[in-house]
Chains A and B, each alone.
Chain A
């Protein structure tokens, strides 16, 4: 089966005019997306992440018919997003977390009703969907409130509903959890997970909160400087990049940093010491055994680096994977 999203060598270059001197303006090319090959299958939940300015939003805009690619091809649901924009956006849902797609001065309910008209949603289907979303996202109390009076978290639930009311096969979410508290984030994640499970909705999600990815996406695509630097299951990323482990030992008495082969003491706090090692070089068991042979210990723990830490390291290395 063809992928719901397929890109080949997808590229976007912006020409910017920078001031150079008092009157002169210089043209400069900014390569926002530098040749991306991506294939997303139906029913996948893909986390599309990368540092600020990596090209995530630009990619999504090319997939949703907002921006025309400078080079390469993109097909979404088998359609060219530029020439078949109207046809395509009828079948997908889009949330740009930084913008609203709701009618600011009208009650939330009116926005949904307008979308029903614009997407030509079958009335029965519409009422069933709306009832389900109101229930799932706890929208009931705010349906009659003008959108401008909703809090950010409340509004974001409205945005998600607006993007999914017409049963899209595929949704693009650009930072849907930005600025939300833990309760709202949880509501958004649970909602997306249910849509994916119950309706097979394909989800492409960008975020700076890696917990979103850990809780929702089996597949993580990382881009940096417009290029893909990782594409695979989250677990694989952890295994490939997370080879550093840390043994934390509580010694009976304080002492100088322990001298254990293949480890480095990265931190000392009273009688507690952190020994870092590479999983591919030695094992936690060997390290603990070596420590015990040197000094009496009271307690021991083994720490894995958080995904967030690994991703940060990758970003800082400039994506050189």
Chain B
């Protein structure tokens, strides 16, 4: 029984970040236990399920069973209804995360990891300031298990980090309050990501329509906590949109969730503990996409765990530092830039967005180079230049 065993690593949370850690670490010869509190891996799907081809291929060749639609075009709708369309440089997919997450867990098990569902972790075992195991509850029976490392992959809640002394709380303005309905019976083009940008539709965030084939789509939105404070919830915004745009649709699933659109935590590790994925705030703060970046952090943490154990080094904070370094090189630095872009866009009001969209719409699609789009954006909103300067100088 797993309750009586000892493991090199215990992973709290069976999302893509946790199972990627488990797969890579097990392949590297470590014994890994994944504890997931829900009864199913991959359910409920709290996600728009969009991923780029590049982001997915970094880890796996796309399996047709994971792909609900392939996307090669984007449509943006401005507050005044102006629509802008363009082709994507890199194609994207809408995944079926029920199958994708399940397969990731399955791959980890095939490499030797053990996955347990309905296992709720409610505390850490700490000895001399070193995290060396977890406490929890499985089917109403308490358990305590020791391990050389604990991996906090517990998503937006990130309590494992807090118990280990890390500051994982997300500031209200950097938390997006999200809701999504999977709807059926609507006319939607199966090769297009659609985004709606306006403070009226989704203040401090955006609204998305991601096609899933067969006249169905994930329609969702996220609003910044900064605006949520004004008292109108994400649900009210989405219900209004659906009533206006798709009054006849059937809603097959509703999910909600928080998206930490923050810079990655300054400190992702403590003695005996590493945080990965949403728990470490690895989401791309500009787009809110966190599947591939979460997997990337899981992989980087696993490589560090393998190096330390093979070299018989203690999992001290100083030694785990190499995970933080790897992450910063892979994505962390970029995410700091994306965070500053997010902050700049955040200041756009609907008039700014309309002016920029109208300017871009006047240019023929084949002439829409990035340079051209940028110069239009700046001419329509000169202060954008200041924001962009800030972005590059880091002010």
Chains A and B are bound partners: no
